[in-house]
Amino acid sequence: MWKKRAIMWLCICLAGLMILLARLTQLQLVETEHFTKRGINLLEASVSQRSQEMILDTGRGNFLYRDGTPITHQSKPVLILFPFLKKMDWDSKRISEIIGASEYALEHAVEKAKKPFAYGEPNPIELTEPQMEKINALQIPGVFAVEKKYHLTQNPAEHLIGITGENETLLRNRYPDKELSSKTMVGLTGMEKSFDEFLLPDGKSKLVYHVDATGGPLFGINVKYVEPANPFYPVNIKTTLDPDLQALVEQLVDQHEIDRGGAVLLDIETNTVLAMVSRPAINQNDPFNKENGGTENLMLKEQIIGSVFKTVVTAAAIDHELTNPSRRFDCSKTITGDPDPLFQYGMLDFPASFARSCNNTFATIAKELKEIDPNILENYAGKLSLTGSVGWMGDIYHFEDFKQLQEDKGRIFLSEEAKKDNNFVALTGIGQHEVRATPLAVANMMATIARGGNKEMVRVASKIEYKNSTSLLDFKEKELEGETISPYTAMKLQKLLREVVVNKNGTGRSLQDLPYEVAGKSGTGETGRMSGGKPLYNKWFAGYFPFDKPKYALVTVRLGATGNASSTNPLFADIVKEIYNNDHEQN
């Protein structure tokens, strides 16, 4: 009997040992980096248990202004102190003399520290180069004067640049073949997302020391500096943004209380983005909240553009000889032919109709164009780069159709039937019904006209640079595919856009006395939405300047606005003034 019991207990013990062995194999060999459903990295966890570290640079790539200054980060020379100093007799007095802080404050900061820190955080004391040299010359273990990179939580052009975050599921789905730490930051929106694979870290720069269970140092008191093996990384994305212009446009958009909307400023010669501002601002505490997260870049989202679309109708009308100087339009009537209760402009020729944005004129011409070709408005929107992707795209390395921007493409009609319906076509002719375009595309349309009809892709990045500032990849200027308007048509449009400003009754007459001569088109898009019993409109002004030698294309837009007081003409005017001042200060 006892033999059976012994054999039974032996089997139970062997089974237990096998279970323990299987569990040990799972922990140490099989699921070392993805343990449990939470995907715990046991290797990283074991290292973190026996060491403490001060991250000096996460290793993720950076964004720069066009002059090479940083947008998303700031490097500061700081004093790093390690908590094991509290167990040592170190020369705190000498350090305090060098940095100009009290010895007590230094010792107190170390005493309460549980991990390495930059003295003075969250606003660390910034050291001078002589101070750094003196501190490091003392060779005190656990005391270092180093450059530490701080990522800015609120940086200019936040919607364009985008945000990053830890998301292991997204990381593994996006890069299934890469061995990356579960803590690796990934781009979630904007250019951070578009350029994410270029920006991935090759490793962190950090100060590391190994500790025992009490937090004391192991292997003596030597602190190890660890940095990526590849000296060319991280890379920098050199944007086309101008730091001064971005700052002034941001300031003016907020001064004019644009709660929803923004501005886009392009360099016409290079067709690059000099400044882009979207509001509302990103809610840093809850960026993906559907109600007030604010992560959407509204300058890249299609919007109702209203009378700005009359520019497209005009281009088609010029080419099809519908703008005869002797022709008159009844601008005291609505697009249905009924008396207009608001606007009694009388009989106007085409230039005056364009300057005063007469709806009946463009509804009439749109219907005439439909009889020539139902697709004509869509074709001319494409010729003017108002629809389709306008941001830079192309094949680079192993990326096919790499896109610098994640943008909407806009549209003119949603159905073939609408193209043949007089009522829908009339509404389309004044930029209503299903007409949609992004503010970026509207700005590109103005730049296209200013260049004489040559349409190009819009760049927000000019190159990718290695850490040492040598070029990894250049984003060269590229033309947009497809048909374009003729130089003659562009010239006629230029004159009409200028008439909007110089005509004493033009919708842009408030811009007549600016230091730069402006040409452009206003727009009021009816959204069909209400707030407090009042209809909401999208208010636009899109144009370029100086008129005689075009240099800038600018769009200002206020989305979901109420009443006439919400015009964006004053914002447009102030931006032009400040750009003029900025240009002449530099010269």
What pLDDT shows up at residue 47?
A: 46
Match 């781009």 to its residue by tokens.
187
User: Does any domain span residue 35?
Assistant: no
What's the CA angle centered on 204, arms 200 and 209, to 5 degrees?
A: 160
- How sure is the predictor about 9, in pLDDT bands with cuts at 50, 70 and 90? confident
Question: CATH number for the domain including 264?
Answer: 3.40.710.10
What pLDDT shows up at residue 291?
A: 79
Of 205, 307, 385, 566, which residue is the catalytic one? Answer: 307
Q: What is the mean pLDDT of the chain?
A: 88
And the tokens for 322? 């519908």
Helix axes 310-319, 359-372, angle to 10 degrees: 50
What pLDDT shows up at residue 340?
A: 85
- How sure is the predictor about 289, in pLDDT bands with cuts at 50, 70 and 90? confident
What pLDDT shows up at residue 585?
A: 85
User: Does any domain span residue 511?
Assistant: yes
Averaged pLDDT, 176-200: 89
Dist CA 246 CA 320 (whole Å): 41
Nearest to 542 by CA among 564, 566, 511: 511
What's the CA angle centered on 544, arms 542 and 548, to 5 degrees?
A: 150
pLDDT in tens, 550-587: 999 999 999 998 876 678 999 999 999 999 999 988 76
Nearest to 498 by CA among 516, 525, 484: 516
- How sure is the predictor about 23, in pLDDT bands with cuts at 50, 70 and 90? low
For residue 522, the tally of other CB atoms under 10 A from its CB is 25
And the tokens for 252? 């003016």
Is-above-0.85 flag for pTM? Answer: yes
DSSP string of 424-472?
HHHHHHTT-TT-BB-HHHHHHHHHHHHTTS--BPBBSEEEEE-TTS-EE
> Is the predicted pLDDT of residue 184 greater than 70, yes or no?
yes
Q: Determine the residue type at 87.
A: K
User: Does any domain span residue 93?
Assistant: no
pLDDT in tens, 337-357: 899 888 899 999 999 999 999
And the tokens for 566? 């919400």
From residue 455, give the alpha-carbon distance in Å to each of 268, 384, 443, 445, 490.
10, 7, 12, 8, 11
And the tokens for 73? 């980060």
> Is the predicted pLDDT of residue 485 greater than 80, yes or no?
yes
Q: Could you tell me the residue range of the domain that residue 578 belongs to? A: 243-281+297-586
The dihedral built from the CA positions of residue 241, 242, 243 and 246, taken in this order, carries a sign that is negative
What pLDDT shows up at residue 143?
A: 87
What pLDDT shows up at residue 587?
A: 65
Contact 446, 555 (CB under 8 A): yes
Out of 83-87, 471-475, 477-481, which region has the weakest mean confidence (pLDDT)? Answer: 83-87
What pLDDT shows up at residue 78?
A: 92
User: Does any domain span residue 301?
Assistant: yes
Annotated catalytic, 510?
Answer: no
From residue 207, give the alpha-carbon distance in Å to each of 42, 84, 247, 260.
22, 14, 35, 44
User: Does any domain span residue 71?
Assistant: no
How far is CA 100 from its chain centroid?
40
pLDDT in tens, 498-551: 999 999 999 999 999 999 999 999 999 999 898 888 899 999 999 999 999 999
Averaged pLDDT, 463-477: 90
Out of 41-55, 164-178, 293-307, 510-524, which region has the weakest mean confidence (pLDDT)? Answer: 41-55
Number of domains in the chain: 1
User: Does any domain span residue 290?
Assistant: no
> Is the predicted pLDDT of residue 103 greater than 90, yes or no?
no
> Is the predicted pLDDT of residue 207 greater than 90, yes or no?
no
> Is the predicted pLDDT of residue 46 greater than 50, yes or no?
no
What pLDDT shows up at residue 45?
A: 46
Nearest to 316 by CA among 371, 244, 392, 394: 371
- The set of long-range contacts for 43-48, using a CB threshold of 8 Å and a minimum separation of 24, is 44/181, 44/182, 44/183
- How sure is the predictor about 227, in pLDDT bands with cuts at 50, 70 and 90? low
Dist CA 65 CA 239 (whole Å): 5
What pLDDT shows up at residue 12?
A: 78
